[in-house]
Amino acid sequence: MSARKFRKRPVIVEAMRWDGTATGSAMIVDWIYDNDAECQYYAPGEWNEEWPTVAYIKIETLEGSMLASSGDWIIRGVAGEFYPCKPGIFEKTYEPVEESGK
């Protein structure tokens, strides 16, 4: 068996880029909770045995908990799931969609 090539299907996702601020995290956390998903914002200096002690958003994904760092994109996928994506990967994978009426 050998590897085959695949092209990503053209799907539209929603995404927000986190600027690393508490205000920015509140907007993302609200967006995630408004869509019946789970996450938690941790401020700089908070101590937690399970995760690092820098500002991050912990997002419950289909694969388990994932951390979003400042600058990461938070994506809402086609099944309504949320997950973080590093900026370089996001820019290579997605392009803006023109929204009608805007």
pLDDT in tens, 67-97: 999 999 999 999 999 999 999 999 999 999 9
| The pLDDT value given to residue 50 | 61
Q: Is residue 89 part of a domain?
A: yes
Residue 87 confidence (pLDDT)? 97
- Mean pLDDT, rounded, for 14-43: 95
Residue 52 counted as domain residue: yes
How many separate domains does the chain show? 1
Q: Which pLDDT value is given to residue 5?
A: 87
Residue 102 lies in a domain: no
Q: What is the DSSP letter of 51?
A: S
DSSP state of 83: E
User: If you search the block for the tokens 């408004």, which residue do you land on?
Assistant: 34
The predicted model gives 43-57 an average pLDDT of 69
**Which range of residues forms the domain containing residue 37?**
14-93
Of 1-10, 54-63, 72-81, which gets the smallest average pLDDT?
1-10
Has residue 44 been placed in a domain? Answer: yes
- 6 in a domain, yes or no? no
Mean pLDDT of 15-21: 95
Sheet with 64-68, edge to edge strand ranges:
39-42, 56-61, 64-68
Is the pLDDT assigned to residue 47 strictly greater than 70?
Answer: no
- Find out whether 39 and 82 touch, Cβ atoms under 8 Å: yes
98 is a domain residue: no
> What is the CA angle 51-76-97, rounded to 5?
135
